[in-house]
Amino acid sequence: MRLLHVVRTLNPEFGGPSESVRMFVRAHQRAGNEVEIATTDAPGEGPAGDAYQSLMPCPVHACGPARPNYFYCPRLDSWLIENRDRFDGVIVNGVWQYHGVAARHAFAGRKPYVVFAHGMLDPYFKRRFPLKHLKKLAYWIFQEHRTLNAATAVCFTSEEEKRVAAEGFPFLNFRREIIPYGTMGPEGDPEALKQAFWDQWPMLKGKKYLLFLGRIHQKKGCDLLLDAFAQVARPDLHLVMAGPEEESGWGAELRSRALRLGIENRITWTGMLRGAVKWGAFYGSQAFILPSHQENFGIAVADALACGVVPLISDKVNIAADIATDGAGWVEADTVEGTVRLIASFQNMSSEELKRMRSCALDCYRRRFALNNAAEALYAALGLP
């Protein structure tokens, strides 16, 4: 089969969709299928001339530049219409931007397409950002509900995400499918991967640290993490904050918070980590921590499990129940008190208990979150053989 992924951007700093596309590309290719990507990125767009397209192991069609308002991109419209007959099925990644509308214009009633919500229909955003919700409601009424209702299916990564999706929005009439999700996991020798991380961050070699890896964003609970770390973390425990910072300047605010809490010298801010350096950060950590207020899946959680690293997560991560059931990590409320309990529970484990939980973490990954079956489930959602 020949498949097409449509995504607004391949810029990894914009969160999970670009990483999801990259992993699905590998899964499609492993299944013996051909895959291409269409995006509203401009040709060659990327940091220091390193085009985002180069991050993907397949043909990428950069149809931008897109206009700022909902990333309107007429060249994407024309490219999709001109090329639609080459593809057996289409996966649209993300909602609320124009690339979904362009896919509907090109494929509805002509080719099967599914929409991967990537957590963007979670009611958390309605509660947390009410003014943005009003803009989304208008867009929903005029465009978005048509895109989802015309799709062969709308795909979610957990039963909870499927259940709560689009609460408070009218005109819901789309088919909901759960696609087992996960990560391809690390490649290479763990010691070599750790060395790659230490080569870039030599001051962390030999340190015991908790790893936060994700966008530095309000929904991730970074402020809770700093407060809890200051309260309960042992003096020899360090904190690595790995991820891109929002343009809002919240990273600077968090650094000021760390200074007020007296823990600025116990935190290393690395920015985004990729490839071997990212996997080395996982392997070198004592545990992974994510006190998020909303997480439809949490690829970084699955990455931690794939490395046999214990995740310390909030109950707002939609796969938290699976991890708790498997005894693969600690789960608490997305509050300062809950995050304190996460760190304290981890610190109070004996070496044997920690070894056992790390083994459970790896087993949990292999049974639930390896990406082996996701591609086949996606083909079924598309109605493809």
pLDDT in tens, 264-306: 999 999 998 988 999 999 999 999 999 999 887 788 999 999 9
Mean pLDDT of 132-155: 91
- pLDDT higher than 50, residue 350: yes
- Look at residue 341 and give its three-state secondary structure: helix
Lowest model confidence (mean pLDDT) among 30-34, 116-120, 248-252, 330-334 = 248-252
Helices 222-232 and 250-261 sit at what angle, rounded to 10 degrees? 10
Lowest model confidence (mean pLDDT) among 9-23, 122-136, 349-363 = 122-136
Tokens coding 104: 């509907």
Beta carbons within 8 Å of 339's beta carbon, 6+ residues apart: 221, 224, 225, 227, 228, 289, 291, 314, 332
Quick one: pLDDT band at residue 15, thresholds 50, 70, 90? low
CB atoms within 10 A of CB 81: 14
Quote the strand ranges of 40-116, DSSP E: 60-62, 89-93, 113-116
pLDDT at position 48, please?
A: 47
Residue with tokens 């600690």: 330
Tokens coding 280: 């080395």
- pLDDT higher than 80, residue 126: no
Q: Which of these, 275, 123, 139, 144, lies nearest to 199 by C-alpha position? A: 275
- pLDDT higher than 50, residue 364: yes
Assign a CATH topology to domain 190-369: Rossmann fold (3.40.50)
Domains 2-182+371-382 and 190-369 equal at CATH topology level: yes
- For residue 65, is the peptide bond before it cis, meaning its omega torsion is within 30 degrees of 0? yes
Euclidean distance between CA atoms 300 and 282, whole angstroms:
10
Answer yes or no: pTM beyond 0.75. Answer: no
pLDDT digits (tens, 9 = 90+) for 16-70: 788 889 889 988 998 899 999 999 999 887 754 456 777 788 999 999 999 887 8
- CATH H-level, domain 2-182+371-382: superfamily: Glycogen Phosphorylase B; (3.40.50.2000)
* φ, ψ of residue 66 in degrees (nearest 5): -95, 155
pLDDT digits (tens, 9 = 90+) for 201-252: 999 999 999 999 998 988 899 999 999 999 999 999 999 999 988 656 788 9
Mean pLDDT of 138-154: 93
Tokens coding 230: 């200051």
* φ, ψ of residue 230 in degrees (nearest 5): -60, -35
Euclidean distance between CA atoms 169 and 162, whole angstroms:
14
Euclidean distance between CA atoms 259 and 201, whole angstroms:
21
Give me the residue spans of the domains in the chain: 2-182+371-382, 190-369
Q: Which of these, 232, 240, 242, 236, lies nearest to 208 by C-alpha position? A: 236
Mean pLDDT of 176-196: 91
Beta carbons within 8 Å of 259's beta carbon, 6+ residues apart: none
pLDDT at position 11, please?
A: 87
- pLDDT higher than 90, residue 384: yes
